[in-house]
Structure 1
Amino acid sequence: MTSKVPFYISILLLIIAGITLSVMRHQQYGVPWTPGETRQVWDLEARIEFYANDKPVKVSLAAPATQDGFTLINESASSPGYGVSYISSNSGRRAEWSIRHAKGPQTIYYKTQFLVDPNAQSTPIPPVGEIQKPTFDGPEEAAAVALINRATRLSAEPVSFTRELIKTLNDPESQNASLLLNNMTKYEATQKLLSYAGMQNKVVGVIQLEDGRRRQSIEMMNEIWNGEKWVLFNPETGTQPTHPNLLVWDESNVSLLDVVGGRNSQIYFSMISQDMSAQQATNSKVESDGLLNLSIHSLPLEEQAMFKTIMLMPIGALIVVFLRVIVGLKTSGTFMPVLIAVAFVQTQLMTGIIGFLLIVGTGLIIRSYLSKLNLLLVARISAVIIAVILIISIFTVVAFKLGLTSGLTITFFPMIILSWTIERMSILWEEEGTKEVFMQGGGSLFTAILIYLAMTNSYVQHLTFNFIGLQLVVMAIILLLGTYTGYRISELRRFKPLAEED
């Protein structure tokens, strides 16, 4: 008989290694055990992509700076072969990359860290130079003058003037506004009208900070000089945005990105929120330090946001193993509930449950008809997959038409897994009966709900993402559960008659 001593030693080593890595990360880098102990830091990454024309290349990107509510604590660039420098001017900060020769697809990363700091204040740079009065075509100029005169009557100073002007631009019944917006966007029209009225203003690029967002574009807004500072306006609403997670990235009023020596340039922004100690927040961001710092924070933010979800899946696997091995709960498929729970995270719980029941229920009806055609397995599964796609499409369109925007997220469901689930439950229906289908289907749904509750717990999210060593502990627990050969909790009811006789 093979000795299990090496196995248990391996389990012990996994637990020790996981705890050691987590403790070292907590002590050496100041990462807290709970999300409530720290200050919030935003990691933002600009990903620049372009095609180099086989000649010298120069890339210039508007760079953010410390501003009201945010303190810039770190910035770095990842651009192999390029020289990089940071330049400050009257128009703001810029990061510039240059190389003597480049050819083919190029990717440049620019990363920044901002500490959420209510006491942070920026020194406003007053406008310089004279206002360049824009020109309009004949009908457009008449419309512009009418809009400016109306805003002037209803305002008292530059801020209220801007508010009234944008309010009119957003009035669907204003013919003057419609005429101007035929050939320009709202922020462009706002800028031209303010300049035409002789008021100092500029267009800025703003980013809405949301944890885990990837490939986000910048949003253009307007700023007006009130004599002391720049006041931000949203041209779509006419309001002064006060959202705490609104960061002004580009204040240059020149351009967000300039590429000389390349073409087809694009820029995307990714972001992630981290909880760090006050001491760590003022230092460089966490960097990989060999095997003793198994940190995913050194990856590009787009990949980090993806890993934030992936790191939760072992927790779901642990719950499935416990419920199947210890409790004896039946599920349709081994880890199908984990994937369904991941979909619930994207769709929210109630929307996900309703979508799951509608898709599986409708799929079973379609599958029952296909079973009468005596199709081969491959053809039948393929037909079920197509049916599931059509079901999801129909439900999504119907939800949109009814104004149920939450129903649009039903597309996050794993279609292949759902198709196999429908196939397995249909075969089970034919072989074991309706009761077994409801037991396994209900068990799968109950397990998925428990996994969803664990995945959306802020403490679980914090620990799994910031302490990768805990994954080794989870693995050790799963391996230990795999050695259990005793009675399952659900099987103990068989002994109830014996207890009653005693």
Structure 2
Amino acid sequence: MKRFHLPLVILVLCSASLGMFFHKVYNLGFPLLPAQTADNWIVEARVSFEPTGGAVTARVFIPNEPKRFALLDENFISRGYGLTTDLSGENREAIWTTRHPSGRQTLYYRTTVSQLERERRMEAPYPGPVSMPNLEEPYRSAADAVVQRVRERSADITSFATVLIRDMNNTPDENMALFVSRADTDRDKVRTAIQLLAGARIPARMVHGIPLTDRARDLQPQVWLEVHNTRQWVAINPNTGAVGYPPNFLVWWYGDQDPVRLQRARNPQISFAVTQNFQDAVDVAQQRAQMMDSRVVDFSLFGLPIQTQNMYRVLLLVPVGAMLIVLLRNIVGVQTFGTFMPILIALSFRETQLLGGVILFTLIVSLGLAIRFYLERLKLLLVPRLAAVVIVVIMIMLALSILSHNLGIEHGLSIALFPMVILAMTIERMSLVWEEHGPSDAIRQGIGSLAVAVAGYLLMINPYIDHLFFVFPELLLIVLAVTLLLGRYTGYRLSELLRFRALSGRGNP
């Protein structure tokens, strides 16, 4: 059981991390790339009417979990009106009420919608075959003939509806002409199609929607047909018979009802305006999570104060740098002074920039090492010697800052961001290695530390890595799992394979 303990821990960490990651990406829409924007649409419905006296009630259909879209924000704009929202069958309606209106009234409903990668709304169950329409002659016989002729040229419910619509729009025969002659508008055409589909016991409904076109004004709803194929509702274009809604089509309401119903008012008018809006994809994902009642955002970094967020943008990269050090030390075999000194120096390089940071680091360590050799002649105890090294390091940093400022080199001012204690310990360790193993080992470890710091810096300034670990901090569980896995590696390091390649016997006769 003990041999499977670590693999089990790694499996649990990776599963939890990837599960949360895929949920945030595919369900909530958090972006994988930095500075990514999402296409949103702002849709505004303008309703106007004339009161006829007394208290007025205006009921207006508004979107209710539209297909392929998420409602990110809603605003109801009116003056002196009370407002409630309610469900009316498959539709949702806004109910405006007022007691003493005067003059022509105008109400506004505005919503911001974002397109979903996949459908979130659950399909309604199959309503079952509908009742046959009660038609009088000659319409009954004509409807039976139309249904029989369409059924012979179709294979299923969807193809039946498309063939029927095409027959209605093409040159109709005498039976179809009896129905088409009464269909002057798209709405009449859909009513006729629903009636004929009922003759085949196929459930169908009328759908009204808005095409999302940038900077469009005074739009009127478009009428579509939907039929249920026993699994889901399928959209049919009433003019062409094509299956499926066009791109960026927002379903507004269902049924053969007017979008505005009034009490004690007359002459209702409704028009729509649409504009495209580009919004940060992270903001859109947060709004979508709130709309879906997801608790993920409640436990994300975005709820923290901005100052704290900026701090964690740096701290979250430290585990990544630590994993890099483990990889370079245990697998590659790079020798460094200390375990975390290179990654702390790499954090300092983020402020000093790479070239200036390398020059300043090399200069401070070189001067500090020279003074450390002088302190060795004074025969000081360990703690006083370390304290003296720290003081000397601070004095060197101060002198370099003043000198660079006088020379107009502003990068030198950021030398104060170097971790002084880490520099002091690095100087102490380097001097000990110099004395015990010689200058070559000390210089080799110093160059290795600087190389690892540079690699850590290049990793941590990568905007994609910064974005991924800030938006998806659960990925740190994978970093932890990889670190645990590397911790069990006991094989040869790459540097050892190069050092001892002569002992492998290759090339010997």
| TM-score of the two chains, using structure 2 as the length reference | 0.50
**Alignment of 1:495 onto 2:501:** yes
**C-alpha distance in 2, partners of 1:432/1:23?**
51
The equivalent of 1:475 in structure 2 is 480
Conservation of the 8 A alpha-carbon contact between 1:288 and 1:297:
no
Aligned partner letter, 1:443: G
For the structure 1 residues 293 and 30, does the alpha-carbon distance in structure 2 shift closer, same or farther, using more than 3 Å as the test?
farther
Q: Find the residue that maps to 2:303 and give its secondary structure.
A: coil
The count of residues paired between Structure 1 and Structure 2 equals: 272
Q: Once the 2 structures are TM-superposed, how far is the Cα of residue 305 of structure 1 from its aligned partner?
A: 0.5
> In the TM superposition, what whole-angstrom CA distance separates every residue of 1:417-453 from its partner, at most 9, and x where no partner exists?
0000000001111111100111110000000000100
Conservation of the 8 A alpha-carbon contact between 1:39 and 1:278:
no
Q: Once the 2 structures are TM-superposed, how far is the Cα of residue 34 of structure 1 from its aligned partner?
A: 1.6
The equivalent of 2:26 in structure 1 is 27
The equivalent of 1:339 in structure 2 is 344
Conservation of the 8 A alpha-carbon contact between 1:29 and 1:286:
no
Aligned partner letter, 1:444: S
Q: Once the 2 structures are TM-superposed, how far is the Cα of residue 302 of structure 1 from its aligned partner?
A: 0.8
Q: Once the 2 structures are TM-superposed, how far is the Cα of residue 282 of structure 1 from its aligned partner?
A: 6.5
Aligned partner letter, 2:458: L
The equivalent of 2:4 in structure 1 is 5
Conservation of the 8 A alpha-carbon contact between 2:369 and 2:427:
yes
For the structure 1 residues 346 and 375, does the alpha-carbon distance in structure 2 shift closer, same or farther, using more than 3 Å as the test?
same
1:38-437 correspondence to structure 2 within 5 Å: 38=37, 276=281, 279-280=284-285, 290=295, 294-437=299-442
Conservation of the 8 A alpha-carbon contact between 1:287 and 1:295:
no
Aligned partner letter, 1:318: M
Q: Once the 2 structures are TM-superposed, how far is the Cα of residue 331 of structure 1 from its aligned partner?
A: 0.3
Q: Find the residue that maps to 1:30 and give its secondary structure.
A: coil
Conservation of the 8 A alpha-carbon contact between 1:343 and 1:413:
yes
Q: Find the residue that maps to 2:363 and give its secondary structure.
A: helix
For the structure 1 residues 286 and 476, does the alpha-carbon distance in structure 2 shift closer, same or farther, using more than 3 Å as the test?
farther
Conservation of the 8 A alpha-carbon contact between 1:287 and 1:297:
no
Aligned partner letter, 2:480: M
The equivalent of 1:14 in structure 2 is 13
Aligned partner letter, 2:501: F
For the structure 1 residues 284 and 16, does the alpha-carbon distance in structure 2 shift closer, same or farther, using more than 3 Å as the test?
closer
For the structure 1 residues 289 and 5, does the alpha-carbon distance in structure 2 shift closer, same or farther, using more than 3 Å as the test?
same
> In the TM superposition, what whole-angstrom CA distance separates every residue of 1:271-319 from its partner, at most 9, and x where no partner exists?
xxx9525743766889996579641111111111100000111110111
The equivalent of 2:270 in structure 1 is none
**C-alpha distance in 2, partners of 1:281/1:463?**
16
The equivalent of 2:448 in structure 1 is 443
Greater gyration radius: 2
For the structure 1 residues 280 and 291, does the alpha-carbon distance in structure 2 shift closer, same or farther, using more than 3 Å as the test?
closer
For the structure 1 residues 372 and 31, does the alpha-carbon distance in structure 2 shift closer, same or farther, using more than 3 Å as the test?
same
Q: Once the 2 structures are TM-superposed, how far is the Cα of residue 39 of structure 1 from its aligned partner?
A: 5.3
For the structure 1 residues 380 and 39, does the alpha-carbon distance in structure 2 shift closer, same or farther, using more than 3 Å as the test?
farther
Q: Once the 2 structures are TM-superposed, how far is the Cα of residue 346 of structure 1 from its aligned partner?
A: 1.1
Instruction: Note the aligned Cα RMSD (angstroms).
Output: 2.8
**C-alpha distance in 2, partners of 1:363/1:401?**
22
Conservation of the 8 A alpha-carbon contact between 1:39 and 1:275:
yes
| TM-score of the two chains, using structure 1 as the length reference | 0.51
Q: Once the 2 structures are TM-superposed, how far is the Cα of residue 26 of structure 1 from its aligned partner?
A: 1.7
Structure 1, unaligned runs of 5 or more: 41-72, 75-114, 116-273
Q: Once the 2 structures are TM-superposed, how far is the Cα of residue 25 of structure 1 from its aligned partner?
A: 1.7
**C-alpha distance in 1, partners of 2:291/2:437?**
55
Conservation of the 8 A alpha-carbon contact between 2:372 and 2:431:
yes
The equivalent of 2:217 in structure 1 is none
**C-alpha distance in 2, partners of 1:311/1:487?**
31
Conservation of the 8 A alpha-carbon contact between 2:404 and 2:413:
yes
Q: Find the residue that maps to 2:454 and give its secondary structure.
A: helix
**C-alpha distance in 2, partners of 1:416/1:286?**
49
